[in-house]
Structure 1
Amino acid sequence: MEYSGRRRKHRDPWRLICRSTVSFVCVCLAQFALFLLSSFFNSSNIITLLFLSVIVLLGLTVIGRRCKRLFGLRGSAPAFVFTNIVFMWCVYLVAIRQAISFPLDILFHAELIILLIGLYRIISGDPGFVDYAPISNTETFLEGSELPISNIYEGSPSVESSLLLQRVRYCKYCHAHVKGFDHHCPAFGNCIGQNNHFLFMILLAGFIIAESCYILSASQITTASRTLDSDGQKVVWTVALATSTMVFSILQVLWQAAFLAWHIYCVCFNIRTDEWMHWKKYPEFQHITHSQLGETGTTRYRNPYDKGIWQNLKEFIEAKG
């Protein structure tokens, strides 16, 4: 079977609907569990809520994997992300918006709209697919390179070939070669490559900013609820909902900030995630040291693409596609 790197395989719409439904149910269960947790515990103890929320979410993850093995239920990660955005938006409109200033409300809505547009672009866009054919048929040459793609994965001794310098890598999930391949992102259902790496970084920063605004908005509701609770009045369910979604957003921001910091590091030193994790399978990253007697020594990591932080940043911005 031959694949085209510039086209994706046809997806069954019914299968996509089923997976999206599974993701929708998973989001509802997770958010409902966090809502119950926030209803039973004092919202002023945010550290306790964060700790318990992590345990609950990990437990739901284990249960979800068991269901996947037993019943073959599979969700769609992009649908999971989209459903979470819509859910948080609905909670904001119902429980939080009335207590927020007009400028912050406009800013939050603008951020969500930009995020949705960016999600559509990165999910449906071309990350840098390169056409190829299987080794058994024909060997495809790229941009005047003297080496076929298959030679990359057959241990070609020509490490400094123009093809290797193009950093064309293979994605086992998309069954395609991608130029500037960083990793396959399950959340977006697409590879992150040369054409969408810049958009990926912008989206990641956008999620952090939007969730931070949501945390700031929800904290105003939870702060007011502490005053009501201290006066002996009953706290309404919308406060518990705002608290649970705020805790969820805090957890999201924590791992997303670490993830963004990692990608900033990679951009500054011109290294891809896939290359850093699997550098031993790419010859240009292998530096073999020799002993004084001329015997082959150990193989060490080296990055031949690192040209200094400023030059690396310049090349990254210019190659955004």
Structure 2
Amino acid sequence: MVLSSNWGSRFSLNFLGRVVVSSVLVLISQFSLTFVPRYLPASSVAVQLSLSVLILLAITGIGRCCKKILQIRASAPAFVLFNIFFIWAVYICIVRKAVSGLMDVVFNGEIAFLIAGFFRILRSDPGFVSLESVSLNEATDTSACGEVESGTSRSSIICDHPIEETSASARTVRYCRTCKKYVMGFDHHCPAFGNCIGRKNHFLFMVLLVGFLITEVSYGNLSRDLTVSTKLFSLLQVLWQGVFLAWHIYCICYNIRTDEWINWKKYPEFQVPAQLQSDEAYAVTNFRNPYDKGIIQNFMEFLTD
């Protein structure tokens, strides 16, 4: 009981420390961005965005220093959540006064949706499966999707279901090294949401990503010149999230996961040996996607899975 109490106390202090560091970094980053339009009022948007990126990179460096000095690292989900609340507070205190009643209801609804969706995906089950339910092959097979620790030894394992399964999202069970768990239809581990993205929450992830983009674009249009610093922050978010959304739409259309695209050389079903030429010293392996059934069928499979 004493050991359990001490562990719970350390966990609480560590969690509280991560939350405090995250909130401080949000305040530093947001208030630092206020100096960009103040000291570069006549500069182009591109120049202001470039300087804003440098500021945010510097804030990231400060966060890493906190980890080394205080032995406490920031929490990415807490950082995302505090940014939502910060922009919402700026909206209520400044922007709301110049917004129509209808747009006020719409924007507050968007923020409420983001907060509700954020907590839901944070606590969601992406499709975790137990080790017993995974079909294991020999440890020497080269298509291992991860490693598990057994005592002091490590053994690579296979966690692929047969291609013939009807559901493309259920076709594979991959190992997430961050969560140290197996995930059905594993796409990637999302630090911002503090969870894996897999079969059971992939759709929610896409909806939330679109929701963030819509909310940030709405805020940029509503704030105009009232709060230039938070508008710059929202614009930066839109730029990288737009690319991120485009990437995931591409993956859905061609029925491939992020993990599979990056690590395809680990998975035999994506490998096709090329014919060895006379002047080549070793065989070349080409990529193929055996799960691609055409854009329409792939997209419908994602919606109905």
> Normalised by the size of structure 1, how large is the TM-score?
0.80
* Post-superposition offset of 1:68: 2.1
* Post-superposition offset of 1:40: 2.6
Counterpart Cα distance in 2 of 1:216 and 1:159:
47
- 1:195 aligns with 200
Q: Tell me, what secondary structure is at the counterpart of 2:94?
A: helix
Counterpart Cα distance in 2 of 1:53 and 1:290:
50
Counterpart Cα distance in 2 of 1:107 and 1:296:
60
Q: Check conservation: 1:168, 1:179, Cα contact below 8 A.
A: yes
Q: Check conservation: 1:288, 1:296, Cα contact below 8 A.
A: no
Counterpart Cα distance in 2 of 1:205 and 1:313:
16
Q: Check conservation: 1:159, 1:283, Cα contact below 8 A.
A: no
- 2:116 aligns with 117
Counterpart Cα distance in 2 of 1:161 and 1:261:
26
- 2:78 aligns with 79
- 1:225 aligns with none
Q: Tell me, what secondary structure is at the counterpart of 2:290?
A: coil
Gaps of 5+ in 2: 1-7, 145-155
Q: Tell me, what secondary structure is at the counterpart of 1:304?
A: coil
Counterpart Cα distance in 1 of 2:266 and 2:72:
34
Q: Counterparts in 2 of 1:273-288, with a 5 A limit?
A: 273-288=258-273
Counterpart Cα distance in 2 of 1:148 and 1:300:
24
Q: What one-letter code is carried by the residue in structure 1 that aligns with 2:240?
A: W
- 2:151 aligns with none
Counterpart Cα distance in 2 of 1:100 and 1:32:
23
Q: Tell me, what secondary structure is at the counterpart of 2:199?
A: coil
Q: What one-letter code is carried by the residue in structure 2 that aligns with 1:178?
A: V
* Post-superposition offset of 1:53: 1.0
Going from structure 1 to structure 2, the CA distance change for 1:180 and 1:149 (only over 3 Å counts) comes to: farther
Larger relative contact order (C-alpha < 8 A, sep ≥ 6)?
1
Going from structure 1 to structure 2, the CA distance change for 1:288 and 1:98 (only over 3 Å counts) comes to: same
Matched, 1:260 2:245: yes
* Post-superposition offset of 1:44: 7.3
Matched, 1:315 2:301: yes
Going from structure 1 to structure 2, the CA distance change for 1:120 and 1:149 (only over 3 Å counts) comes to: farther
- 1:66 aligns with 65
Going from structure 1 to structure 2, the CA distance change for 1:44 and 1:94 (only over 3 Å counts) comes to: farther
Counterpart Cα distance in 2 of 1:55 and 1:67:
19
The alignment yields a C-alpha RMSD, in angstroms, of 2.6
The aligned length equals 278
- 1:306 aligns with 292
Counterpart Cα distance in 2 of 1:107 and 1:79:
25
- 1:171 aligns with 176
Going from structure 1 to structure 2, the CA distance change for 1:46 and 1:289 (only over 3 Å counts) comes to: closer
Q: Check conservation: 1:289, 1:296, Cα contact below 8 A.
A: no
* Post-superposition offset of 1:12: 2.5
* Post-superposition offset of 1:262: 0.2
Counterpart Cα distance in 1 of 2:163 and 2:94:
59
Going from structure 1 to structure 2, the CA distance change for 1:32 and 1:279 (only over 3 Å counts) comes to: same
